[in-house]
Amino acid sequence: MSEAPDPEVVELATKIFDLARQGDAEALAAYVDAGVPVNLTNDRGDSLVMLAAYHGHPAAVAALLARGADADRANDRGQTPLAGAVFKGEEAVVRALLDGGADPKAGTPSAVDTARMFAKAELLELFGER
């Protein structure tokens, strides 16, 4: 039987996930610099990078990647931040993720598959696909 999580820890984690959704790059960077794990995930496996990417915040994505976040960390459904950014049409986020080393072929569906599914020819070209 596992112990119930500390309510203060849950409250802090919730705050940090909200900062990622809101794209507060400066606050996220400060928390990570102070010791919050850069690859922290929520109960669905969404990382801070995933949340920042999906909600369209390239500066937050770049700040997290600069601090060692895994650009290809998939959530519990196999989705990567790059595929999420492609799905949402967030080109600036796509570029930030690629600059941070994201693999367009990682995940299920991959960013390449997602770009094909939504006929995003410009992104396929960016990924080196035709």
pLDDT digits (tens, 9 = 90+) for 23-55: 999 999 999 999 999 999 999 999 999 999 999
How large is the angle between the packed helices 91-99 and 81-88, nearest 10 degrees? 160
CA nearest 45: which of 63, 25, 72?
A: 72
1 has a pLDDT exceeding 60: no
113 has a pLDDT exceeding 90: yes
pLDDT band at 62 (very low <50, low <70, confident <90, very high): very high
pLDDT band at 129 (very low <50, low <70, confident <90, very high): confident
pLDDT reported for residue 9? 87
- In order of 50, 65, 74, 80, the CA distances from 77 in angstroms are 12, 21, 7, 9
130 has a pLDDT exceeding 80: no
Taking the C-alpha atoms of residue 76 and residue 6, their distance in angstroms, rounded to an integer, is 23
State yes or no: cis peptide before 5, omega within 30 of 0: no
Look-up: residue for tokens 């080196």? 128
* Contacts of residue 96, Cβ cutoff 8 Å, sequence gap at least 6: 53, 58, 59, 61, 62, 65
Q: Residue 41 forms beta bridges with which residues?
A: 47
Taking the C-alpha atoms of residue 96 and residue 71, their distance in angstroms, rounded to an integer, is 10
Q: State the architecture of 7-126 in CATH terms.
A: Alpha Horseshoe (1.25)
